[in-house]
Structure 1
Amino acid sequence: MTIRSLLVAAALLSTPALAQDAGTPAPADAGAKPAPQKSETVKATLKDAQGKDVGEVTMEQAPRGVLVRGALMNLPPGEHAFHIHETGKCDAPDFKTAGGHFNPTKKQHGALSPKGQHAGDMPNLHVGQDGKVQFDVIIPDLKVKSLLDKDGSAVVVHAKLDDYHTDPTGDAGGRIACGVVEKAE
Structure 2
Amino acid sequence: MKIAIIDYGSGNVQSVLFALNRLGYAGEVTFNWDIISKADKVIFPGVGEASSAMKMLQNLGLDKLIPTLRQPVLGICLGMQLLCKHSEEGNTNGLGIFDVNVVRFSNAVKVPQMGWNTIKKLSTDLFKEIKEEEFMYLVHSFFVPKCKYTIATTEYDIEYAIAIQKDNFYGVQFHPEKSGIQGEKILKNFLELNNI
Fold shared, TM-score > 0.5 on shorter chain: no
Q: TM-score normalised to the size of structure 1?
A: 0.25
* Bigger RCO of structures 1 and 2 (CA < 8 A, at least 6 apart): 1
Which structure would you say has the larger Rg?
A: 1
Higher helix share: 2
